[in-house]
Amino acid sequence: MKKFIIILSLLLCITPISTWAVTDSEETSLLENAKSGILVEASTGEILYEKNKDEIVSIASLTKMVAQIIILENIESGNLKWDEMVTTSSNAAGMGGTQIWLTAGEKMSVEDLFKGLTMASANDATVALAERIAGTEAAFVKLMNDKVKELGLKNTTFKNCTGLDEEGHQSTAYDLSVIARELLSHEEILRFSSVYEDYIRKDTPNKFWVVNTNKLVRFYSGADGLKTGFTDDAGYTMAVTAKRDDMRLIAIVLGESVSKVRNEETTELLDYGFNTYKIDLVKPKGSVVDKVKIDKGSQEEIEIITKNDISILNKKTDASLNYDTKITVNNINLPIEKGDVVGKIEVLYNDKVIKTDDLIAGSSVKKINYFKYLYNNLKDIINCSFF
């Protein structure tokens, strides 16, 4: 099958990508009290604002975002199921800090444990899930450190899975923004992080009310995650995501001394982003950009779809410009699994590529044997003879 290229010319309100980042010196009214912070547009990864983004600091329970990534990966792989009952160890039950008061030997579903982790930032729930996946907390922490290396992050090191203060347990605002983007790629996270209040142990005498530590999911328009934290070393920390229209922002705020001020300054940072920028959505995630004929496959053709939202970030004051999209589909070798990368899409302005992203297979296709292939061809011949 030959490689081919399709050029599509469209008209949208698009301008070329540039460096958008505003520093603390240019916008001194933002994050005045925070040690560091960053504002990122989620689909493009563009930095809209930063203050000391690479300063290495303690991060408290924002640590748990990496634990959440690993847990959701295990859910998606089938290694873990939401209704599986996990037995609490004495180690997990004895964790300090925020908790949902698990007792040694208590059995709780993965879903309720994850709810406790995500909404209440429960250390005991986090360790219980860590031990279920890796056997010990130490082994799970190794998975967390491996994950941040996989993401290319060099300023993040974990000593535990909860974020409790420990020498050498650290990260940066920038690294945490990358971690938050990765967490958001697992869409199930928003089913938990967007809820303000719920219950665990619902059908037992020990029904327990869980309230989200992230108050912005209730009071800030579009907010639906992600994580808050506090320790003596880290101060008050926050990772918030909010979506309005087609634009999702991620705000990381670290080292605040007062929780109310942290919430206020995070709100101001998000307001700045939504008031100043916009996203022009070229193609939504999952858009079919082509259909390719398949030889000797379990189906005759396969849809080629966008892996992510194909978006261009602009300031709201920018003018409208023309752009092109260029689609390249590689040779399709069977078998192929749904989600496998099979090509790329490029967005161009004035013949210059301003964005590139992956195209993926919309379904799985198996390779069929010769006799099945012959049978399909004979069936097509017979059908054609009658019609």
pLDDT averages per 10-residue partition of the chain, 387 residues: 38 37 62 98 96 98 98 98 98 94 97 98 98 98 98 98 97 98 97 98 92 98 98 98 96 98 98 95 92 88 94 87 88 92 94 94 85 58 59
From the candidates 58, 61, 177, 311, give the one annotated as an active-site residue. 61
From the candidates 51, 64, 159, 278, give the one annotated as an active-site residue. 64
27 and 49 in contact (C-beta within 8 Å)? Answer: yes
pLDDT value, residue 15: 33
Of 354, 345, 347, 334, the closest CA to residue 304 belongs to 345
**Architecture of the CATH domain 31-279:** 3-Layer(aba) Sandwich (3.40)
pLDDT value, residue 27: 52
189 to 56, 105, 118, 234, 344: CA distances (angstroms): 26, 27, 8, 24, 27
Q: Active-site residue 121, yes or no?
A: yes
pLDDT value, residue 376: 56
Superfamily of 4-15+284-386 according to CATH: D-Ala-D-Ala carboxypeptidase, C-terminal domain (2.60.410.10)
Tally of CB atoms within 10 A around 170: 20
Amino acid (1-letter code) at residue 99: Q
User: How does the average pLDDT of the chain come out, rounded?
Assistant: 90
Q: Looking up tokens 């858009």, which residue turns up?
A: 287
pLDDT value, residue 20: 54
Question: What is the distance between the alpha carbons of residues 114 and 83, in angstroms, rounded to a whole number?
Answer: 11
From the candidates 36, 43, 121, 194, give the one annotated as an active-site residue. 121
pLDDT value, residue 9: 37
Q: Active-site residue 9, yes or no?
A: no
154 and 132 in contact (C-beta within 8 Å)? Answer: no
pLDDT value, residue 169: 98
pLDDT value, residue 373: 55
Parse the chain into domains and list their residue ranges: 4-15+284-386, 31-279
Q: Active-site residue 221, yes or no?
A: no
pLDDT value, residue 22: 59
